[in-house]
Amino acid sequence: MGNRGFTLIEVIILIVMAGILLPAIIVPFVAGVKGSGKPEKATTAIYLAHYKMEEFMKFQYTDPAIPRIPLTSNADPGIPGISGYQWQWEIEFVDPTNFNNVVSPPGVGYKRILVRVTDPENNTYEVYSVITYFP
């Protein structure tokens, strides 16, 4: 009777308890690991939106002949190393008292630019800017 150790029943109880407790611990951990890529995707999407916004902001908007660009269809950005993202953009003449009211060209020199980026998980990020000319 001086032997020390676990009996078969104690080992079976330990296995059953581990089988019940481990999934309760592992499932939230796995969900957290899967969601850890979201900040990186959001940062990449905002980077792409600002990249396109900078491209549009380099133009002179004093010329009313610069055409209105309606909302484009989704397009792949085509930037090496970035895949699965799509972007859209539009340029509208807007009323200087309310930048949400679209006006017919020639406007008073205010144009609103919208760049919308969709990440691989289908989350959408929008960046707006209003461009004007000050002589």
pTM for the predicted model, two decimal places: 0.62
Is the pLDDT at 93 greater than 70, yes or no? yes
What tokens does 79 get? 């930037």
H helix runs in 36-103, sequence order: 38-57
Give the torsion through C-alpha atoms of 56, 59, 61, 62, to 10 deg.
180
Work out the burial of residue 92: count CB atoms within 10 Å of its CB; fewer than 13 is exposed, 13-18 middle, 19 or more buried: buried
Q: Tens digits of per-residue pLDDT, 96-116?
A: 777 677 666 555 667 788 888
Which residue(s) pair with 35 in the sheet?
A: none
Q: Tens digits of per-residue pLDDT, 27-77?
A: 888 887 777 777 888 888 888 888 888 887 777 666 555 566 767 777 787
The pLDDT value recorded for residue 14 is: 93
